[in-house]
Amino acid sequence: MKKGGGNSERNEDKGRKVDGQDVIKNKKKMKKNMQRLGGRGGLSLEAFANAKTRNDNYNPAIIKKQREFYRNAKYLQKFKRSIKQQQQLDIPSTSERPSEGENGAREGDNDLNKNKRNKKNAQSLQELYQKKREEEEKARMERESMIQAKKEEQQKAEARRRALKEKMLKKTKSGQPVMKYRIEHILETIQGPKS
């Protein structure tokens, strides 16, 4: 018997199992390996060249260029979007457009209408801007009031803690702790907070 408790007969039969099952598995493995390596002759020239030229190294310059490219693309997209919005605001709807005539009086009317539309657009933009400013101001005031309330609450809690600490650290003339305040504190914690 060999070390590890295995039979020598078993090792001999390992290569040949019933109906050649193990032999088939080995052939499949060999075939996969050959395909992976590129056929019987090992790696093909193209596969070898590609394996050598593949660059897995860390290159900060390339990363920096890619970041800059994506950042510029983002800015360009925002710019295009803003131009599109401005064009949509400048172009009135078709229902507002007067019918164009062949005579010069109609064209003069068109100029007047364009000026009126531009003024309306400017006014509506100004109104939108003012509304937005008012909303932002309200939100800022609410935030400030919340922050102020939080600060006051923190100050009150700190004052309570300071007073409690002062009471708990009081000593008698002989240096013993004053138990009156400690007992009161224990009672309060047992009974729960006062309502």
Backbone angles phi, psi at 88, to 5 degrees: -65, -35
Closest CA to 96 of 82, 109, 83: 109
Is 112:98 a contact under the CB 8 Å cutoff?
no
What ranges in 38-103 are assigned the alpha helix state H? 45-53, 60-90
Question: CB–CB of 184/190 below 8 Å?
Answer: no
Q: Which long-range contacts (CB under 8 A, 24 or more apart) does 91-95 make?
A: 92/117, 92/121
What pLDDT is stored for residue 127 in this prediction? 87
Contact 56, 81 (CB under 8 A): no
* Whole-angstrom distance, CA of residue 17 vs CA of residue 25: 11
pLDDT score at 6: 52
* CA atoms of 187 and 72, how far apart (whole Å): 67
Per-block average pLDDT, block size 10, for the chain (195 residues)? 52 52 79 70 70 69 91 94 87 53 53 73 84 93 95 95 92 92 91 72
For residues 71 and 63, give the distance between their C-alpha atoms in angstroms, rounded to a whole number: 12
Q: Which amino acid is at 21?
A: Q
| CA nearest to 121, candidates 110, 109, 113 | 113
Predicted local distance difference test score (pLDDT) of residue 159 = 95
Contact between 119 and 108 (Cβ < 8 Å): no
Sign of the CA dihedral 114, 117, 123, 125? negative
